[in-house]
Amino acid sequence: MGRHGTIAGRKAAQDSKRAATFTKYAKLITVAAKAGGDPDYNPGLRTAIEKAKGIGMPNDNIKRAIQKGTGELGGESYEEMTFEGYGAGGVAVIVECLSDNRNRAVSAVQHDFDKFGGNFGKPGCVSFMFERKGVFTIDREDSDLTEDDLMMAVLDAGAEDVATYDDCFEVTCAPDAFNDVSDALKAAGISFADANIDQVPNVTATPTDEGAIKNLKKLIASLEDNDDVQNVYTNCTLDLYEE
């Protein structure tokens, strides 16, 4: 979606499914570690580790996940998959998965689209409405940070835009500037609540039918309950995490 719900909403969703979230981040670390087990020389692994630590994942879990990726420990082989379709109300949806069983992942995602009034589509059917961007979310609560301060900190590092919302700032950048912007924020002493390379919509949808909105929320919740699903993106302007 344009934004991934409020910060409080995202945190509440993560906390309620912490064990499942650990599993998802372990997969992410394992896949990233295939390109090398040293985070100093593997930016993707460094980002995955930082995110895992951000949700309180134990260091032993992180170490095991890295060792599975580098081959030091036996483990599953995960395949990256992306599925696309339309949710209720014509909202575009992209689902990114890491799974050791393609048939299981396809079947589960398609079932969710069908169950909640959506249409499971072919590759490319909605991805043209999105663009990959690095996205950093900075909590505004109890902070005197201004948009100008933030822009000064990240502009030279490759940030493209800074947006201000009621509860947070969002910094966006090209994917290849992600680590530079991350380093610039840390150097300026600015902590971020969330950081991802996301699918950011350039065309948005705002459904008004209450039934469609309810089905969209159920679709997103069911997809994110699936251990194979890593990320769910929509072009909906509404907060689909709000009760």
99-158 pLDDT, tens digit each: 999 999 999 999 999 999 999 999 999 999 999 999 999 988 767 899 999 999 999 999
For position 2, what pLDDT does the model report? 44
Q: What's the rounded mean pLDDT across residues 213-222?
A: 96
Q: If you average pLDDT over every residue of the chain, what do you get?
A: 88
**Band of pLDDT at residue 19, cut at 50, 70 and 90:** low
Work out how many domains the chain is built from and give that number.
Answer: 3
CA nearest to 224, candidates 34, 49, 5, 43: 5
Q: What's the rounded mean pLDDT across residues 173-182?
A: 92
Q: What's the rounded mean pLDDT across residues 151-177?
A: 92
Segments in 55-209 forming alpha helices (H): 59-70, 102-115, 147-154, 178-187
Is 104 inside any structural domain? yes
Contact 30, 37 (CB under 8 A): no
141 and 101 fall within a common domain: no
Q: What's the rounded mean pLDDT across residues 230-236?
A: 94
108 and 217 fall within a common domain: yes
For position 166, what pLDDT does the model report? 84
Higher per-residue pLDDT: 199 or 2: 199
- State the Cα–Cα distance between residues 216 and 116, nearest whole angstrom: 7
65 and 95 fall within a common domain: no
Domain that holds residue 190: 129-201
For position 56, what pLDDT does the model report? 87
For position 3, what pLDDT does the model report? 53
122 and 174 fall within a common domain: no
Q: Is the pLDDT of residue 238 over 60?
A: yes
- State the Cα–Cα distance between residues 7 and 165, nearest whole angstrom: 11
How much of the chain exceeds pLDDT 90, in percent?
Answer: 60
208 and 94 fall within a common domain: yes
Provide the CATH number for the domain around residue 170: 3.30.70.980
CA nearest to 154, candidates 131, 130, 178, 118: 178
22 and 49 fall within a common domain: yes
Q: What's the rounded mean pLDDT across residues 66-90?
A: 89
188 and 141 fall within a common domain: yes
Q: Is the pLDDT of residue 179 over 80?
A: yes
208 and 228 fall within a common domain: yes
Q: Is the pLDDT of residue 219 over 60?
A: yes
Contact 101, 227 (CB under 8 A): no
Q: Is the pLDDT of residue 94 over 80?
A: yes
For position 195, what pLDDT does the model report? 85
Provide the CATH number for the domain around residue 58: 1.10.10.200
CA nearest to 79, candidates 46, 61, 108, 105: 105
For position 243, what pLDDT does the model report? 65
197 and 227 fall within a common domain: no
For position 17, what pLDDT does the model report? 56
pLDDT in tens, 23-36: 888 998 999 898 89
116 and 216 fall within a common domain: yes
- State the Cα–Cα distance between residues 138 and 154, nearest whole angstrom: 13
- State the Cα–Cα distance between residues 222 and 57, nearest whole angstrom: 23
